[in-house]
Amino acid sequence: MEMWLKEAQIEDAVMTYKVKETLVRKKTEYQDLAILDTNFFGRMLVLDGIVQTTIKDEFVYHEMITHIPLFTHPNPKKVLVVGGGDGGAIREILKHPSVEKAVLCEIDEAVVIECKKYLPEISCALDDPRCEVFIGDGIKYVHEHKNEFDVIIVDSTDPFGAAEGLFGGSFYKEISECLTDDGIFVAQTETPFYLPDVVKKVFNDAKETFAITKLFMAAIPTYPGGYWSFTIGSKKYDPENANLDTTVEFDTKYYTKKIHKSSFALPKYVEDLITK
């Protein structure tokens, strides 16, 4: 008997994946968690029926949400990840030699536990001595830590349920206060094709708080539409004008210096979305 995962995040459109095996399935305090082994994308983390990351294409998301802000900031030493319990963002952050400490603030401990067990390629840096894993509410954590982080990455699930509060304008003001005077924040901000209203709202909320606010894009096969947006807010440094000549070199599969610059070149329908 064939098994298929049917992801119905978007009304009137679905994505389906052929499943070889269910490795874990449990109801946590916050969500339905599953890790599946699929034919094409390998093992994947699924929360509330929505694919979060897969072994095959996770590198795109994790490289872009981290290296764009970290190469924009001239000397990032302390980084906070809100969400991101799979550990992929931490793995990429710790490739930067300037980083002295990376804090992962994840509300659902089960995500961290199961990803360390079943997705070690992604979670491999969570035991690094520079990484601190804090299990708790990201909104509360940000509120209680003022002027502390050079970069904050909101690596959240979609803006429903437990993650809904991570997409509000008031949260971005809290993030600004949690950042240092030249700090940078970035968040995954959904698909402009299927959820244009979400993209527009998040961008406008961030723009009200940060002196420099820009949208950049990446092609992620397992995310609805395959074309995903990220919003970056900066107090001082413009990511499009970042000096990449002196950046350290390390292995990547998606991010390059050219991609850093070109990812801010938006299709007209996306540009219209955030400017009109």
Known binder of ligand: residue 12?
no
Known binder of ligand: residue 158?
yes
Known binder of ligand: residue 83?
no
Q: Which of 210, 162, 152 is nearest to 48 (CA)?
A: 162
Q: Rounded CA gap, 157 and 254, in Å?
A: 22
Known binder of ligand: residue 62?
yes
155 is catalytic: yes
Known binder of ligand: residue 246?
no
Known binder of ligand: residue 128?
no
Q: Which of 275, 141, 157 is nearest to 213 (CA)?
A: 275
Torsion of CA 46, 50, 54, 59, to 10 degrees: -130
Known binder of ligand: residue 52?
no
Cβ distance 233 to 184 under 8 Å? yes
The residue from 128, 155, 181, 197 that is catalytic is 155
CA 93 to chain centre: 12
Q: Rounded CA gap, 199 and 189, in Å?
A: 6
Known binder of ligand: residue 31?
yes
DSSP secondary structure of 121-171: HHHTTTTSTTEEEEES-HHHHHHH--S-EEEEEEE---SSGGGGGGGSHHH
Known binder of ligand: residue 72?
no
Known binder of ligand: residue 86?
yes
* Residue stretches of the annotated binding site for spermidine: 62, 86, 155-158
List residues forming the annotated binding site: 31, 62, 86, 106, 137-138, 155-158
The binding site for S-methyl-5'-thioadenosine comprises 31, 106, 137-138
Active site residues: 155
